[in-house]
Each structure stands twice: as C-alpha cells, then as structure tokens.
Structure 1
C-alpha cells in the first residue's frame, strides 16, 4: 500500500457528532473528501439534513440523525440506526461541545453540570456505545475534540468549567486508548486553539479587547480556520496513523508555547 493509499477512507463509515455546523461540519467534509460515508449526528436535525445534502453531493452516502449526545438511550438508538443502515462503524469523531465564560463565584451549579454533560459525559456515552461495536469488529478509530484549554488556562476570560471538561476529554482519550488497544481500536484527540467558526465569528468581528489579547498571545497572530484541522482528522481516521493512539494533537497557532 502506497502512502497516499493509506490516507484513503474509501468505503469507510464515520459518525461525527455536532456535525451540522462549525468544526464538526468541517471535519465531516474533510473525511468525506477522503472517501468516507458520513453520519451527521446533531441536535439540530434541519441543519444536519442541509449539511448531509451538501456532503452527499461529493459522492458519498450521508445519514443525518437527530441525537442528544447526553442521553444514553438516544445515543444507543443512533448507533443501532447506523449499524442497520451501513452494517459497520469504522470511525467516530466526538465533536459536540459548548463554551461558557462565567467566574467560579458566580457560576450556578446547573451550568457546571451542563458543561460536563455536553463536553465530557457525551464523549463517554458515545464512545462506549460505538466502542462496543468496534470491539465486535476488532477494529476502529475514535477522534475526540478536546482543546488547548485542557492543558492551559485561557485569559482573560473565566472558563473553569470548560477547561476542566476538556482536560477530562484528554484523560478519557488516554484511558480509552489504553483499554481498547488490545481490540485494535485507536483513540486520539485534537486540541484546537482559537478557531473562527459560526459560533466564535461574532467575537472576532467585534474586535473586542478579549480577542486582541487572544491574538497577542498567539505567535501566529490569527485564529485558525476549521478546514485547517481537516488534514489531521483524515490522518487520525486512516491507516496512515496506524501506530498512533492516546495522543493529543494541539493545533493552536503556537498559543500554548508561551
């Protein structure tokens, strides 16, 4: 097999959570470009259907699925639907997540719990359900979206819940990689820095003092674009990364080096 052939995902099936827009959509598009069929798993079914139609025009099969990734029953039903449709799951990209800027002393406990549910507990639930399938298959790849915030504390915004949830994703990634290596399942995480997406676009267009500080602390002096993560996503989902597991890939324009 040539090097370029190792990057091919032709005929593979990938679930991407939070894939209707933003980073999830960019990752789903990149994986489809490499040949993978894509399951667009999202709370917003209308947006998921629109994204699925756009990606399907690239010549792969797509399946939009409504799912609350914090609900175990819904997650299990999603996995069942995917297996009934495709008969296999080759890759999972856990991307669904939220952010919140609230100082600790002002944070309602309900907000803390919600952050942990969406950003961390969902990764456990979806990975567990898909992992059971991959164990039976004796192969699979899982890619989790964590954040540079899982290894550093951002400034000037207060976001302890977000930072903690993403640090948890990193340790969960390492733990799953260790437990599931005997089953030929590889688990890695991409840790992005400040990315310009639909959700963060207002911050950057507002040219706020907070954004100015972000860019001053980033050696490359700019935010990342979602498609700049696509090559790494394809690498981690493909045979090109066959000896890579339990790794954290920080893509932050250099932010965490200072």
Structure 2
C-alpha cells in the first residue's frame, strides 16, 4: 500500500536518529512531505526544549506550507539512574526531555494542525509507562513517559473539535544509537528484555514507523486517545 500518506505535510521531531529517523524515512516512502526537526542534522535544527526556538521553527513551517497534517513527537532524551543516585538536575533534565519536547512542539504546531482540519498527533509513551523492567534504572524515564500517556488523552479531547486526533505509541525496547549504549552499560539487559518479550527479538525503528504510518493515515480516522503497544508482547502478560 504505497503512497498511504500522499499529499500530507508531516513534521517529525527527533528526525536525525532512532525512531524519529525511521519515521521520517518511512513517511517519505509513503508519499508524505516530511520536515524533520532535531538539534542538528535535520531539515530544521532547533532545541525543542527552548520555547522561542520551537516557536520559530513551527512558524517557519506553517508560513511555508500553510498547515500541518501530521506531527510526530519523537524527540526525547533521558538520564537513567537509580533513585538513590539520581540528582534533582538529572530528574528535571529528563522531564524536560520527555515532556517539554512534546508540549512545546504541539503547542507551536496547533494553529497548523487546526488549519489541516484532519490532523494526527503521534506521541511516544513507552512500555515503561506501564511496567518497570528488572535491572533498568529508569525512574525518571518511567515518570516522563507516563506523563506523555496522560497528556495525549487530554490533547485528544482538546483537539477533537478541530479535527485533530492524538494517540500514543508505546514502544518496547527498540534498537537505536541511544539504547545500544544502554545495552552496553547494563549487564544482561538484553536477556532481561527478551525474557519479558513474547517475540524473542529486540524491536527496530521501522517496527514503530509502520504503526506511525497507520496512525497518520485515513485508516485511523476513528482512532483518538488510544495507546498502541508495539513491544513484542512485553506488556501483555
């Protein structure tokens, strides 16, 4: 089903690496015009925790394209540490990296999403929003992703009168540049992940990208406020 997103204007944050890069590539392959945003290496370089920079980036996009049909909020960063070792600075850094990077782009994109009249906001929660993984020091990450899950339900309600749908994808452990470092640092983390998974492999960015394509398409015109787990069955038992 090629060209499932033909004619759509899509903004993908975190587009230079990981899940965001996978989404941007797959959206382009499916016919969408994609504007990628990241700190560097994207169509627009911007710090999405900076209010002014985020506003300027989205003002530029809306001025050029007139609307935004799809917003994929894939940008995120987090500090992984146990409660006794985590500093307040690390905690706040993670919540900014998990929550501000959804709030600021979505607020800045809202006029463009309203102009679409049939827009889709795709946010990323996590399997960590629903369960803790033995051996993973993910306290702040769990809190941030739980916040994204709750925020998205509210966005679905606020967006409905304007034709804006909002949903989350909750990935399990996805193999990216960032998680490769995590795997290297935590003894037997991959074994713990696979023990929890029904599907005995790690996820890849494209596994998430295809779910995002579905949520961006007309195939999900009746889907909003939903959370879609793409986690190899990790949260199903």
1:112 to 87, 91, 95: 91
User: Is it true that 1:168 corresponds to 2:147 in the alignment?
Assistant: yes
Does the C-alpha gap of structure 1 residues 81 and 234 become closer, same or farther in structure 2, counting only changes over 3 Å? same
Deviates more, 1:94-103 or 1:133-142: 133-142
Counterpart CA distance in 2 for 1:124 and 1:203 is 26
Long gaps (5+) in structure 2: none
1:32 to 24, 28, 51: 28
Counterpart CA distance in 1 for 2:132 and 2:101 is 23
Find the counterpart in structure 2 of residue 85 from structure 1: 64
Does the C-alpha gap of structure 1 residues 216 and 175 become closer, same or farther in structure 2, counting only changes over 3 Å? same
What TM-score results when the alignment is normalised by the length of structure 1? 0.87
How many pairs are equivalent?
Answer: 237
User: Is it true that 1:13 corresponds to 2:9 in the alignment?
Assistant: yes
Counterpart CA distance in 1 for 2:128 and 2:143 is 8
How far apart are residue 190 of structure 1 and its match? Answer: 0.6
User: Is it true that 1:43 corresponds to 2:22 in the alignment?
Assistant: no
Counterpart CA distance in 2 for 1:211 and 1:235 is 28
User: Is it true that 1:212 corresponds to 2:208 in the alignment?
Assistant: no
Does the C-alpha gap of structure 1 residues 206 and 154 become closer, same or farther in structure 2, counting only changes over 3 Å? closer
Counterpart CA distance in 1 for 2:116 and 2:232 is 37
User: Is it true that 1:227 corresponds to 2:223 in the alignment?
Assistant: no
Find the counterpart in structure 2 of residue 241 from structure 1: 220
The DSSP-based 3-state class of the residue aligned with 2:122 is strand
How far apart are residue 136 of structure 1 and its match? Answer: 3.9
Counterpart CA distance in 2 for 1:110 and 1:188 is 30
Find the counterpart in structure 2 of residue 146 from structure 1: 125
User: Is it true that 1:158 corresponds to 2:137 in the alignment?
Assistant: yes
The DSSP-based 3-state class of the residue aligned with 2:225 is coil
1:180 to 156, 159, 170: 159
Structure 1, residues 29-86: CA drift from partner, whole Å, max 9, x if none? 1111111011110001xx22xxxxxxxxxxxxxxx00111111111110111112222
Deviates more, 1:212-221 or 1:33-42: 212-221
What TM-score results when the alignment is normalised by the length of structure 2? 0.94
Structure 1, residues 167-210: CA drift from partner, whole Å, max 9, x if none? 00000000000111011100001110001112223455789322
2:176 to 185, 192, 197: 197
The DSSP-based 3-state class of the residue aligned with 2:26 is helix
What's the Cα RMSD here?
1.7
